[in-house]
Amino acid sequence: MGRIAEEGDSEEFLTELARTWTEEHRAEVDSWLEGLRGRARPSTLPEETLPVAYSLDKEELFLDLAIEFNLSRPADTLPIEPVRRHMEDMLEEALAGEYAAISPDSSVWLDNWT
C-alpha cells in the first residue's frame, strides 16, 4: 500500500483501504496465489504465532516478507504475526517481552551509538 495508515484510523477505514488496494492490484494479487491452488492447506490456523513488531516506515516491505514467509512455511513452523507499532512504543513493549522480535532491529543498535 502506498499510504500507511496512522494509528487511530478506524477498522472500517483500514478494511476499505485494503479492499480498494486489492481490487486495484487484482492481477498482482492473483499472481501471488499461482502455484498455491491445490496445495494442502491446514484445516485450522495454529493457535500460536510468532509476534513480530515492525515500524511504520517499513510496513510495505515487512508485510510482503511476512506474507511470503507465512505462505511458504513448513507446517511445523509458527507463522509470523505482524504487529504495527511506533518505534517508541515498540521498544518499551519489546523490553517487556511482548514480541519475539522487532523490525528494524538495527534502530535499537544505532540509537545506542548516536
Digits of tens for pLDDT over the chain (114 positions)? 334 445 556 777 777 887 788 778 777 767 766 655 555 555 455 678 889 998 888 888 888 888 888 888 888 888 988 899 888 888 889 888 888 888 887 555 544 444
Give the bridge partners for 83, in sequence order: 53
Q: What is the pLDDT of residue 17?
A: 80
Q: What is the pLDDT of residue 106?
A: 59
Find the helix or strand (DSSP H, E) in which 103 lies.
strand 101-103
Burial class (CB in 10 A: 0-12, 13-18, 19+), 2: exposed
Mean pLDDT score of the chain: 75
**Angular region, 48: left φ>0, alpha ψ -120 to 50, beta rest:** beta
Q: What is the pLDDT of residue 4?
A: 47
Domain boundaries, the chain: 1-40, 47-114
Nearest to 67, CA basis, from 18, 109, 114: 18
Gap between the Cα atoms of 74 and 72, Å rounded: 7
Q: What is the pLDDT of residue 55?
A: 87
Q: What is the pLDDT of residue 38?
A: 52
DSSP assignment of 14-43 = HHHHHHHHHHHTHHHHHHHHTTTTTS---S
pLDDT digits (tens, 9 = 90+) for 21-37: 877 877 776 776 665 55
